[in-house]
A and B are shown apart, each in its own frame.
Chain A
Amino acid sequence: MPVFDLATIELRALNQALHALDKSGPAEDFEVTNPRGSHAVAVGIDAPVNVTIDGSVGYYCAGMNEQATITVKGNAGPGVAENMMSGKVVIKGDASQYAGATAHGGLLVIEGNASSRCGISMKGVDIVVKGNIGHMSAFMAQSGNLVVLGDAGDALGDSLYEARLFVRGTVKSLGADCEKKEMRPEHIELLTKLLADAGITDVKPEEFTRYGSARTLYNFNVDNFDAY
Protein backbone atom coordinates (compact mmCIF):
# COMPACT_ATOMS: atom_id res chain seq x y z
CA MET A 1 0.00 0.00 0.00
CA PRO A 2 1.50 3.36 -0.98
CA VAL A 3 2.01 5.65 2.04
CA PHE A 4 2.56 9.37 1.49
CA ASP A 5 4.00 11.18 4.48
CA LEU A 6 3.23 14.84 3.84
CA ALA A 7 5.87 15.82 6.40
CA THR A 8 8.49 14.62 3.91
CA ILE A 9 6.75 14.43 0.52
CA GLU A 10 5.26 17.35 -1.40
CA LEU A 11 1.49 17.44 -1.68
CA ARG A 12 1.80 17.62 -5.46
CA ALA A 13 3.53 14.21 -5.54
CA LEU A 14 0.54 12.67 -3.75
CA ASN A 15 -2.04 14.30 -6.00
CA GLN A 16 -0.09 13.41 -9.16
CA ALA A 17 0.17 9.77 -8.05
CA LEU A 18 -3.58 9.72 -7.48
CA HIS A 19 -4.25 11.33 -10.87
CA ALA A 20 -2.04 8.75 -12.60
CA LEU A 21 -4.23 5.83 -11.47
CA ASP A 22 -6.25 3.91 -14.05
CA LYS A 23 -9.88 5.07 -14.15
CA SER A 24 -11.10 1.54 -14.46
CA GLY A 25 -9.18 0.16 -11.50
CA PRO A 26 -8.16 -2.08 -9.91
CA ALA A 27 -8.93 -0.40 -6.57
CA GLU A 28 -5.80 0.43 -4.61
CA ASP A 29 -5.34 1.61 -1.03
CA PHE A 30 -3.44 4.84 -0.34
CA GLU A 31 -2.52 6.17 3.06
CA VAL A 32 -1.65 9.79 3.77
CA THR A 33 0.09 10.69 7.02
CA ASN A 34 0.87 14.06 8.62
CA PRO A 35 -1.59 16.16 6.60
CA ARG A 36 -1.29 18.89 9.29
CA GLY A 37 -4.09 21.00 7.86
CA SER A 38 -2.74 21.03 4.28
CA HIS A 39 -4.96 22.39 1.53
CA ALA A 40 -6.25 20.45 -1.48
CA VAL A 41 -5.33 16.97 -0.22
CA ALA A 42 -6.57 14.20 -2.57
CA VAL A 43 -8.34 16.50 -5.04
CA GLY A 44 -9.38 15.71 -8.59
CA ILE A 45 -9.18 11.92 -8.31
CA ASP A 46 -10.95 9.86 -10.98
CA ALA A 47 -10.24 6.24 -10.03
CA PRO A 48 -11.74 3.64 -7.66
CA VAL A 49 -9.03 4.15 -5.03
CA ASN A 50 -9.35 4.10 -1.22
CA VAL A 51 -7.50 7.01 0.39
CA THR A 52 -7.16 7.18 4.16
CA ILE A 53 -5.87 10.45 5.61
CA ASP A 54 -4.50 10.20 9.16
CA GLY A 55 -5.20 13.63 10.60
CA SER A 56 -6.91 16.95 9.89
CA VAL A 57 -6.94 18.66 6.51
CA GLY A 58 -7.38 22.29 5.40
CA TYR A 59 -9.27 23.82 2.49
CA TYR A 60 -10.84 21.83 -0.36
CA CYS A 61 -9.93 18.26 0.59
CA ALA A 62 -11.41 15.66 -1.83
CA GLY A 63 -12.64 18.34 -4.23
CA MET A 64 -14.01 17.23 -7.60
CA ASN A 65 -13.80 13.60 -6.51
CA GLU A 66 -14.90 10.87 -8.93
CA GLN A 67 -15.10 7.22 -7.86
CA ALA A 68 -12.64 7.38 -4.96
CA THR A 69 -13.44 6.60 -1.32
CA ILE A 70 -11.65 9.16 0.84
CA THR A 71 -11.64 8.96 4.64
CA VAL A 72 -10.31 11.81 6.81
CA LYS A 73 -9.45 10.69 10.34
CA GLY A 74 -9.70 14.20 11.71
CA ASN A 75 -11.42 17.50 10.90
CA ALA A 76 -11.79 19.06 7.45
CA GLY A 77 -11.40 22.73 6.57
CA PRO A 78 -13.66 24.78 4.30
CA GLY A 79 -15.01 23.30 1.06
CA VAL A 80 -14.51 19.60 1.67
CA ALA A 81 -15.73 17.46 -1.29
CA GLU A 82 -16.65 20.60 -3.19
CA ASN A 83 -18.01 19.70 -6.60
CA MET A 84 -17.75 15.95 -5.97
CA MET A 85 -19.10 13.93 -8.94
CA SER A 86 -19.19 10.39 -7.48
CA GLY A 87 -17.52 8.21 -4.87
CA LYS A 88 -17.60 8.59 -1.10
CA VAL A 89 -15.98 11.00 1.34
CA VAL A 90 -16.09 10.34 5.09
CA ILE A 91 -14.99 12.94 7.67
CA LYS A 92 -14.51 11.37 11.10
CA GLY A 93 -14.42 14.76 12.84
CA ASP A 94 -16.05 18.12 12.07
CA ALA A 95 -16.23 19.90 8.72
CA SER A 96 -15.89 23.65 8.28
CA GLN A 97 -18.05 25.84 6.07
CA TYR A 98 -19.52 24.92 2.67
CA ALA A 99 -18.97 21.17 2.90
CA GLY A 100 -20.15 19.45 -0.29
CA ALA A 101 -20.80 22.74 -2.07
CA THR A 102 -22.06 22.36 -5.67
CA ALA A 103 -21.42 18.60 -5.56
CA HIS A 104 -23.15 16.64 -8.32
CA GLY A 105 -23.02 13.10 -6.97
CA GLY A 106 -21.50 10.63 -4.53
CA LEU A 107 -21.93 10.45 -0.76
CA LEU A 108 -20.40 12.80 1.82
CA VAL A 109 -20.60 11.59 5.42
CA ILE A 110 -19.62 13.97 8.22
CA GLU A 111 -19.49 12.14 11.54
CA GLY A 112 -19.12 15.32 13.62
CA ASN A 113 -20.72 18.72 12.98
CA ALA A 114 -20.71 20.70 9.76
CA SER A 115 -20.55 24.47 9.99
CA SER A 116 -22.31 27.11 7.90
CA ARG A 117 -23.42 26.71 4.28
CA CYS A 118 -23.27 22.90 4.27
CA GLY A 119 -24.51 21.65 0.88
CA ILE A 120 -24.76 25.12 -0.62
CA SER A 121 -25.90 24.83 -4.24
CA MET A 122 -25.72 21.03 -4.09
CA LYS A 123 -26.58 19.46 -7.44
CA GLY A 124 -27.20 15.79 -6.75
CA VAL A 125 -24.85 14.74 -3.93
CA ASP A 126 -26.09 12.92 -0.84
CA ILE A 127 -24.79 14.45 2.41
CA VAL A 128 -25.25 12.78 5.80
CA VAL A 129 -24.21 14.74 8.90
CA LYS A 130 -24.29 12.90 12.23
CA GLY A 131 -24.03 16.12 14.24
CA ASN A 132 -25.42 19.61 13.62
CA ILE A 133 -25.17 21.94 10.64
CA GLY A 134 -24.69 25.72 10.66
CA HIS A 135 -26.61 28.61 9.16
CA MET A 136 -27.53 29.00 5.46
CA SER A 137 -27.14 25.29 4.78
CA ALA A 138 -28.54 23.96 1.48
CA PHE A 139 -28.81 27.53 0.17
CA MET A 140 -30.05 27.31 -3.45
CA ALA A 141 -29.68 23.52 -3.30
CA GLN A 142 -30.82 22.06 -6.61
CA SER A 143 -30.99 18.31 -6.16
CA GLY A 144 -29.71 15.51 -3.96
CA ASN A 145 -30.37 14.78 -0.29
CA LEU A 146 -29.13 16.39 2.91
CA VAL A 147 -29.65 14.28 6.03
CA VAL A 148 -28.94 15.79 9.44
CA LEU A 149 -29.11 13.70 12.60
CA GLY A 150 -28.70 16.75 14.85
CA ASP A 151 -29.98 20.31 14.54
CA ALA A 152 -29.90 22.86 11.72
CA GLY A 153 -28.98 26.55 12.10
CA ASP A 154 -30.67 29.65 10.73
CA ALA A 155 -32.14 29.97 7.22
CA LEU A 156 -32.11 26.30 6.26
CA GLY A 157 -32.79 25.74 2.56
CA ASP A 158 -33.06 29.38 1.55
CA SER A 159 -34.14 29.70 -2.11
CA LEU A 160 -34.23 25.95 -2.39
CA TYR A 161 -34.88 24.08 -5.65
CA GLU A 162 -35.47 20.32 -5.67
CA ALA A 163 -33.03 19.02 -3.05
CA ARG A 164 -34.61 17.08 -0.18
CA LEU A 165 -33.65 18.02 3.37
CA PHE A 166 -34.19 15.63 6.30
CA VAL A 167 -33.53 16.93 9.81
CA ARG A 168 -33.92 14.82 12.94
CA GLY A 169 -33.42 17.62 15.48
CA THR A 170 -34.58 21.22 15.54
CA VAL A 171 -34.34 23.81 12.80
CA LYS A 172 -33.51 27.30 14.10
CA SER A 173 -35.26 28.94 11.16
CA LEU A 174 -36.22 28.15 7.59
CA GLY A 175 -34.96 30.26 4.70
CA ALA A 176 -37.13 31.91 2.04
CA ASP A 177 -39.34 29.43 0.16
CA CYS A 178 -38.33 26.43 2.28
CA GLU A 179 -41.14 24.58 4.04
CA LYS A 180 -41.86 21.50 6.12
CA LYS A 181 -43.19 18.61 4.06
CA GLU A 182 -44.93 15.33 4.60
CA MET A 183 -42.84 12.14 4.93
CA ARG A 184 -44.30 9.72 2.39
CA PRO A 185 -43.35 6.04 2.07
CA GLU A 186 -40.89 6.79 -0.73
CA HIS A 187 -39.05 9.22 1.58
CA ILE A 188 -38.84 6.63 4.36
CA GLU A 189 -37.43 4.20 1.81
CA LEU A 190 -34.92 6.77 0.53
CA LEU A 191 -33.83 7.70 4.03
CA THR A 192 -33.44 4.04 5.03
CA LYS A 193 -31.02 3.58 2.14
CA LEU A 194 -29.09 6.79 2.85
CA LEU A 195 -28.66 5.92 6.55
CA ALA A 196 -27.51 2.41 5.61
CA ASP A 197 -25.04 3.82 3.05
CA ALA A 198 -23.64 6.08 5.77
CA GLY A 199 -23.30 3.13 8.14
CA ILE A 200 -25.91 4.43 10.60
CA THR A 201 -27.95 1.71 12.25
CA ASP A 202 -29.22 3.22 15.49
CA VAL A 203 -31.53 5.87 14.04
CA LYS A 204 -34.95 5.35 12.47
CA PRO A 205 -36.04 7.24 9.34
CA GLU A 206 -39.38 8.03 11.04
CA GLU A 207 -37.52 10.32 13.47
CA PHE A 208 -36.80 12.85 10.71
CA THR A 209 -38.76 15.77 9.31
CA ARG A 210 -38.61 16.52 5.62
CA TYR A 211 -38.15 20.04 4.27
CA GLY A 212 -38.32 21.12 0.67
CA SER A 213 -39.10 23.93 -1.71
CA ALA A 214 -42.50 25.65 -1.60
CA ARG A 215 -41.78 26.47 -5.27
CA THR A 216 -43.14 29.99 -5.01
CA LEU A 217 -39.92 31.63 -6.18
CA TYR A 218 -39.34 29.37 -9.18
CA ASN A 219 -40.76 31.62 -11.86
CA PHE A 220 -40.77 35.36 -11.77
CA ASN A 221 -43.99 36.74 -10.40
CA VAL A 222 -44.26 40.44 -9.79
CA ASP A 223 -46.16 39.79 -6.55
CA ASN A 224 -43.03 38.13 -5.17
CA PHE A 225 -40.84 41.08 -5.98
CA ASP A 226 -40.09 41.78 -2.31
CA ALA A 227 -38.78 38.24 -1.80
CA TYR A 228 -36.05 38.57 -4.43
Chain B
Amino acid sequence: MCGIVGLFLKDKSLEPQLGALLSDMLVTMTDRGPDSAGIVIYGADQNNLVKLTIQSPDPETDFAGLTEDLRKAGITNASILPKSTHAVITVSSDQLEATRSALEELRPDVRVMGTGSVMEIYKEVGLPKDVLERFKISDMSGTHGIGHTRMATESAVTTLGAHPFSTGSDQCLVHNGSLSNHNNLRRELTREGIRLETQNDSEVAAAYLTGEMAKGKNLGEALTSALDDLDGFFTFVVGTKSGFGVVRDPIACKPAVMAETDAYVAFGSEYRALVNLPGIEDAKVWEPEPATVYFWEH
Protein backbone atom coordinates (compact mmCIF):
# COMPACT_ATOMS: atom_id res chain seq x y z
CA MET B 1 0.00 0.00 0.00
CA CYS B 2 2.12 2.92 1.31
CA GLY B 3 0.79 6.36 2.18
CA ILE B 4 1.90 9.62 0.65
CA VAL B 5 1.27 13.21 1.68
CA GLY B 6 2.49 16.48 0.23
CA LEU B 7 1.87 20.14 0.91
CA PHE B 8 2.94 23.09 -1.23
CA LEU B 9 2.16 26.43 0.38
CA LYS B 10 1.11 29.48 -1.60
CA ASP B 11 0.22 31.56 1.47
CA LYS B 12 3.42 32.56 3.30
CA SER B 13 1.59 33.00 6.59
CA LEU B 14 1.15 29.21 6.75
CA GLU B 15 4.91 28.54 6.50
CA PRO B 16 5.53 28.32 10.27
CA GLN B 17 2.90 25.55 10.39
CA LEU B 18 4.23 23.44 7.51
CA GLY B 19 5.84 20.79 9.71
CA ALA B 20 2.81 20.51 11.97
CA LEU B 21 0.33 20.27 9.07
CA LEU B 22 2.39 17.66 7.22
CA SER B 23 2.95 15.64 10.40
CA ASP B 24 -0.79 15.49 11.04
CA MET B 25 -1.40 14.39 7.44
CA LEU B 26 1.23 11.65 7.61
CA VAL B 27 0.09 10.24 10.96
CA THR B 28 -3.42 9.87 9.48
CA MET B 29 -1.91 7.63 6.78
CA THR B 30 -0.21 5.29 9.30
CA ASP B 31 -2.41 2.28 8.53
CA ARG B 32 -1.33 2.40 4.87
CA GLY B 33 2.20 1.40 5.87
CA PRO B 34 3.71 0.76 9.29
CA ASP B 35 7.28 -0.18 8.29
CA SER B 36 9.07 3.14 8.08
CA ALA B 37 8.37 6.81 7.59
CA GLY B 38 10.12 9.83 6.21
CA ILE B 39 9.66 13.49 5.47
CA VAL B 40 11.35 16.22 3.49
CA ILE B 41 10.96 19.87 4.45
CA TYR B 42 11.96 22.73 2.17
CA GLY B 43 12.99 25.62 4.43
CA ALA B 44 14.46 29.08 4.01
CA ASP B 45 17.31 29.76 1.60
CA GLN B 46 20.52 30.87 3.32
CA ASN B 47 22.86 32.77 1.02
CA ASN B 48 25.80 30.68 -0.18
CA LEU B 49 25.21 27.99 2.40
CA VAL B 50 24.29 24.38 1.73
CA LYS B 51 22.88 21.70 4.03
CA LEU B 52 23.81 18.03 4.21
CA THR B 53 21.39 15.83 6.13
CA ILE B 54 23.40 12.89 7.49
CA GLN B 55 22.36 9.76 9.34
CA SER B 56 24.31 7.44 11.60
CA PRO B 57 23.55 4.06 13.18
CA ASP B 58 25.58 5.27 16.19
CA PRO B 59 24.86 9.01 16.40
CA GLU B 60 26.33 9.60 19.87
CA THR B 61 29.77 8.47 18.78
CA ASP B 62 29.66 9.74 15.21
CA PHE B 63 28.28 13.23 15.89
CA ALA B 64 30.55 13.89 18.93
CA GLY B 65 33.35 16.23 17.96
CA LEU B 66 32.32 16.17 14.29
CA THR B 67 32.36 19.98 13.93
CA GLU B 68 35.95 20.16 15.20
CA ASP B 69 37.03 17.23 13.05
CA LEU B 70 35.50 18.84 9.94
CA ARG B 71 37.18 22.17 10.72
CA LYS B 72 40.53 20.43 11.12
CA ALA B 73 39.90 18.80 7.73
CA GLY B 74 39.56 22.26 6.18
CA ILE B 75 35.77 22.74 6.33
CA THR B 76 36.27 25.91 8.33
CA ASN B 77 32.72 27.19 8.75
CA ALA B 78 30.91 23.88 9.29
CA SER B 79 28.11 23.91 11.83
CA ILE B 80 26.16 20.86 12.89
CA LEU B 81 22.68 20.43 14.34
CA PRO B 82 22.06 16.87 15.57
CA LYS B 83 18.49 15.53 15.71
CA SER B 84 18.34 11.95 17.00
CA THR B 85 19.92 9.63 14.38
CA HIS B 86 20.18 12.48 11.86
CA ALA B 87 22.12 15.72 11.83
CA VAL B 88 22.12 18.72 9.52
CA ILE B 89 25.56 20.04 8.62
CA THR B 90 25.64 23.53 7.14
CA VAL B 91 28.70 24.57 5.11
CA SER B 92 29.55 27.10 2.38
CA SER B 93 28.18 25.87 -0.92
CA ASP B 94 31.68 25.69 -2.43
CA GLN B 95 32.68 23.22 0.28
CA LEU B 96 29.92 20.66 -0.36
CA GLU B 97 32.05 18.08 -2.13
CA ALA B 98 34.98 18.59 0.26
CA THR B 99 32.57 17.96 3.15
CA ARG B 100 31.30 14.76 1.53
CA SER B 101 34.85 13.47 1.10
CA ALA B 102 35.84 14.48 4.62
CA LEU B 103 32.80 12.65 6.04
CA GLU B 104 33.68 9.47 4.15
CA GLU B 105 37.14 9.63 5.67
CA LEU B 106 36.27 10.79 9.20
CA ARG B 107 32.97 8.94 9.78
CA PRO B 108 32.73 5.97 7.40
CA ASP B 109 29.42 4.76 8.89
CA VAL B 110 27.67 8.08 8.34
CA ARG B 111 25.33 8.26 5.31
CA VAL B 112 24.46 11.46 3.49
CA MET B 113 20.67 11.26 3.08
CA GLY B 114 20.38 14.37 0.95
CA THR B 115 21.88 17.75 0.22
CA GLY B 116 20.59 21.11 -0.91
CA SER B 117 20.35 24.77 -0.16
CA VAL B 118 16.90 24.49 1.44
CA MET B 119 16.05 20.78 1.83
CA GLU B 120 16.27 18.66 4.97
CA ILE B 121 15.37 14.97 4.90
CA TYR B 122 14.52 12.68 7.82
CA LYS B 123 13.58 9.02 7.62
CA GLU B 124 13.69 6.00 9.87
CA VAL B 125 12.18 2.60 10.48
CA GLY B 126 9.06 2.81 12.67
CA LEU B 127 5.59 4.32 12.81
CA PRO B 128 5.10 7.85 11.43
CA LYS B 129 4.16 9.23 14.86
CA ASP B 130 7.41 8.00 16.44
CA VAL B 131 9.60 9.00 13.51
CA LEU B 132 8.06 12.49 13.34
CA GLU B 133 8.44 13.03 17.11
CA ARG B 134 12.02 11.83 17.07
CA PHE B 135 12.96 14.57 14.59
CA LYS B 136 10.56 17.21 15.98
CA ILE B 137 9.11 17.71 12.51
CA SER B 138 6.03 19.53 13.80
CA ASP B 139 8.23 22.45 14.95
CA MET B 140 9.66 22.97 11.47
CA SER B 141 8.63 25.74 9.10
CA GLY B 142 9.01 25.72 5.35
CA THR B 143 7.56 26.42 1.94
CA HIS B 144 6.69 22.86 0.91
CA GLY B 145 7.22 19.30 2.04
CA ILE B 146 6.55 15.66 1.27
CA GLY B 147 6.01 12.65 3.54
CA HIS B 148 5.72 8.90 3.14
CA THR B 149 4.81 5.92 5.27
CA ARG B 150 6.00 2.62 3.84
CA MET B 151 4.68 -0.89 3.41
CA ALA B 152 7.76 -2.50 1.91
CA THR B 153 7.44 -4.66 -1.19
CA GLU B 154 10.58 -4.31 -3.34
CA SER B 155 13.44 -4.02 -0.84
CA ALA B 156 14.21 -4.55 2.84
CA VAL B 157 12.80 -2.50 5.72
CA THR B 158 15.82 -0.34 6.50
CA THR B 159 16.50 3.34 7.07
CA LEU B 160 18.01 3.65 3.61
CA GLY B 161 15.05 1.83 2.04
CA ALA B 162 12.60 4.34 3.56
CA HIS B 163 11.22 7.20 1.48
CA PRO B 164 11.69 10.01 0.48
CA PHE B 165 14.65 9.33 -1.79
CA SER B 166 16.95 12.18 -2.64
CA THR B 167 19.31 11.69 -5.55
CA GLY B 168 20.05 15.31 -6.46
CA SER B 169 20.45 18.66 -4.79
CA ASP B 170 17.14 19.80 -3.26
CA GLN B 171 15.33 16.97 -5.08
CA CYS B 172 13.22 14.25 -3.50
CA LEU B 173 10.65 11.64 -4.49
CA VAL B 174 8.12 9.45 -2.74
CA HIS B 175 6.44 6.50 -4.42
CA ASN B 176 3.38 4.32 -3.92
CA GLY B 177 3.55 1.29 -6.19
CA SER B 178 6.22 -0.95 -7.62
CA LEU B 179 8.35 -0.60 -10.74
CA SER B 180 9.07 -3.55 -12.99
CA ASN B 181 11.97 -2.20 -15.07
CA HIS B 182 14.06 -0.78 -12.25
CA ASN B 183 16.97 -3.22 -12.52
CA ASN B 184 17.63 -2.38 -16.13
CA LEU B 185 17.17 1.34 -15.52
CA ARG B 186 19.54 1.18 -12.54
CA ARG B 187 22.26 -0.27 -14.78
CA GLU B 188 21.70 2.46 -17.37
CA LEU B 189 21.79 5.23 -14.76
CA THR B 190 24.91 3.77 -13.16
CA ARG B 191 26.58 3.77 -16.56
CA GLU B 192 25.68 7.47 -16.88
CA GLY B 193 27.53 8.09 -13.62
CA ILE B 194 24.54 8.45 -11.26
CA ARG B 195 25.24 6.88 -7.89
CA LEU B 196 22.53 4.71 -6.32
CA GLU B 197 22.74 3.60 -2.71
CA THR B 198 20.12 0.83 -2.46
CA GLN B 199 18.37 -1.99 -4.34
CA ASN B 200 15.09 -0.09 -4.00
CA ASP B 201 12.92 0.53 -7.09
CA SER B 202 11.77 3.98 -5.95
CA GLU B 203 15.34 5.22 -5.65
CA VAL B 204 15.74 4.38 -9.33
CA ALA B 205 12.73 6.59 -10.15
CA ALA B 206 14.27 9.44 -8.14
CA ALA B 207 17.63 9.00 -9.87
CA TYR B 208 15.94 8.83 -13.27
CA LEU B 209 14.27 12.23 -12.67
CA THR B 210 17.55 13.68 -11.39
CA GLY B 211 19.22 12.48 -14.59
CA GLU B 212 16.51 14.00 -16.79
CA MET B 213 16.63 17.33 -14.97
CA ALA B 214 20.43 17.32 -15.26
CA LYS B 215 19.88 17.21 -19.04
CA GLY B 216 18.05 20.54 -18.74
CA LYS B 217 14.43 19.45 -18.36
CA ASN B 218 12.22 21.12 -15.79
CA LEU B 219 10.28 19.01 -13.28
CA GLY B 220 7.18 18.83 -15.46
CA GLU B 221 9.18 17.70 -18.52
CA ALA B 222 11.08 15.12 -16.50
CA LEU B 223 7.81 13.68 -15.16
CA THR B 224 6.42 13.50 -18.70
CA SER B 225 9.47 11.46 -19.79
CA ALA B 226 8.97 9.18 -16.79
CA LEU B 227 5.60 8.12 -18.22
CA ASP B 228 7.44 6.66 -21.23
CA ASP B 229 10.50 5.25 -19.51
CA LEU B 230 9.21 3.82 -16.22
CA ASP B 231 7.22 0.60 -16.29
CA GLY B 232 5.05 -0.52 -13.40
CA PHE B 233 2.66 0.94 -10.89
CA PHE B 234 3.31 4.36 -9.53
CA THR B 235 1.91 7.42 -7.92
CA PHE B 236 4.85 9.77 -7.44
CA VAL B 237 5.04 13.02 -5.52
CA VAL B 238 8.23 14.92 -6.22
CA GLY B 239 9.82 18.03 -4.71
CA THR B 240 12.47 20.38 -6.01
CA LYS B 241 13.83 23.62 -4.54
CA SER B 242 10.88 25.60 -5.85
CA GLY B 243 8.57 22.98 -7.34
CA PHE B 244 6.10 20.26 -6.43
CA GLY B 245 4.91 17.61 -8.88
CA VAL B 246 2.52 14.64 -9.06
CA VAL B 247 2.20 11.89 -11.66
CA ARG B 248 0.36 8.55 -11.81
CA ASP B 249 0.91 5.67 -14.22
CA PRO B 250 -1.70 5.09 -16.98
CA ILE B 251 -3.45 2.28 -15.05
CA ALA B 252 -3.68 4.51 -11.96
CA CYS B 253 -4.67 1.93 -9.37
CA LYS B 254 -2.55 3.55 -6.65
CA PRO B 255 -4.86 6.06 -5.00
CA ALA B 256 -4.43 9.82 -5.03
CA VAL B 257 -6.49 12.82 -3.95
CA MET B 258 -5.54 16.44 -4.39
CA ALA B 259 -6.89 19.67 -2.94
CA GLU B 260 -6.16 23.24 -3.90
CA THR B 261 -7.09 26.57 -2.33
CA ASP B 262 -5.60 30.06 -2.59
CA ALA B 263 -3.36 29.05 0.33
CA TYR B 264 -1.96 25.66 -0.72
CA VAL B 265 -1.86 22.61 -2.95
CA ALA B 266 -2.14 19.37 -1.00
CA PHE B 267 -1.75 15.71 -1.90
CA GLY B 268 -2.92 12.66 0.03
CA SER B 269 -3.18 8.95 -0.77
CA GLU B 270 -6.66 9.32 0.71
CA TYR B 271 -9.00 12.21 1.48
CA ARG B 272 -8.61 11.37 5.19
CA ALA B 273 -5.11 12.87 5.07
CA LEU B 274 -6.49 16.25 4.01
CA VAL B 275 -9.42 16.75 6.40
CA ASN B 276 -7.59 18.87 8.97
CA LEU B 277 -6.15 21.37 6.49
CA PRO B 278 -7.45 24.92 6.90
CA GLY B 279 -10.29 25.71 4.51
CA ILE B 280 -10.54 22.15 3.16
CA GLU B 281 -14.36 22.44 3.15
CA ASP B 282 -14.15 24.99 0.34
CA ALA B 283 -11.10 23.56 -1.46
CA LYS B 284 -11.19 22.23 -4.99
CA VAL B 285 -10.80 18.48 -4.40
CA TRP B 286 -10.07 16.07 -7.26
CA GLU B 287 -8.50 12.80 -8.21
CA PRO B 288 -5.44 13.33 -10.45
CA GLU B 289 -5.96 11.82 -13.91
CA PRO B 290 -3.91 8.82 -15.05
CA ALA B 291 -0.75 9.55 -17.08
CA THR B 292 -1.13 13.27 -16.48
CA VAL B 293 1.62 15.47 -15.06
CA TYR B 294 0.70 18.06 -12.44
CA PHE B 295 3.26 20.51 -11.13
CA TRP B 296 3.43 23.79 -9.34
CA GLU B 297 6.32 26.18 -8.90
CA HIS B 298 6.99 29.07 -6.50
Please report A residues at the B interface, Cβ cutoff 8 Å: 36-38, 56, 58-59, 75, 77-78, 93-94, 96-97, 115-116, 134-135
Q: Are A37 and B275 in contact (CB under 8 A)?
A: yes
- Checking B252, B273, B285 against A97 with a beta-carbon cut-off of 8 angstroms, the contacting residue is B252
CA–CA, A115 to B285, complex, Å?
A: 14
* Contact between B252 and A77, CB atoms less than 8 A apart: no
As a 0/1 sequence over residues 48 to 65 of chain B, the CB contacts with chain A under 8 angstroms (1 = contact) are 000000000000000000
B270–A36 CB distance below 8 A: no
**How far apart are the CA atoms of A56 and B283 in the complex, in Å?**
13
- The answer to whether A37 and B255 have CB atoms under 8 Å apart is no
Asked, given contacts A75-B285, A94-B287, A96-B287, whether A58 binds B271 with beta carbons under 8 Å apart, the answer is: yes
CB atoms of A94 and B271 under 8 A apart: no
**B273 cross-chain contacts in A, Cβ below 8 A:** 37
Residue of B nearest to A56 (CB): B271
CB within 8 Å of A: which residues of B? 250-253, 255, 257, 270-275, 285-287, 290
CA distance A56 to B257 in the complex (A): 12
A78-B255, A96-B255, A116-B252 known; A37-B287 Cβ under 8 A = no
Q: Report B-chain residues with C-beta under 8 Å of the C-beta of A96.
A: 255, 257, 287
Q: Which residue of B lies closest to A76 (CB)?
A: B271
Known: A77-B271, A135-B250. 14 other contacts (CB 8 A): A37-B270, A37-B274, A37-B275, A56-B271, A56-B285, A59-B270, A75-B285, A77-B270, A93-B285, A94-B286, A97-B255, A115-B252, A115-B287, A134-B252
Partner of A58, one of B250, B251, B270: B270
Name 9 interchain pairs, CB-CB below 8 A, sorted by A: A37-B271, A37-B273, A37-B274, A56-B271, A58-B270, A78-B255, A96-B257, A115-B287, A134-B252
A153 nearest CB neighbor, chain B only: B290
Selected from B270, B272, B285, B290, the residue in CB contact (under 8 A) with A116 is: B290
Tell me whether A134 and B255 are in contact (CB under 8 A): no
Q: How far is the CA of A94 from the CA of B270 in the complex (A)?
A: 14
Closest CB in chain A relative to B231 CB, distance in Å: 18
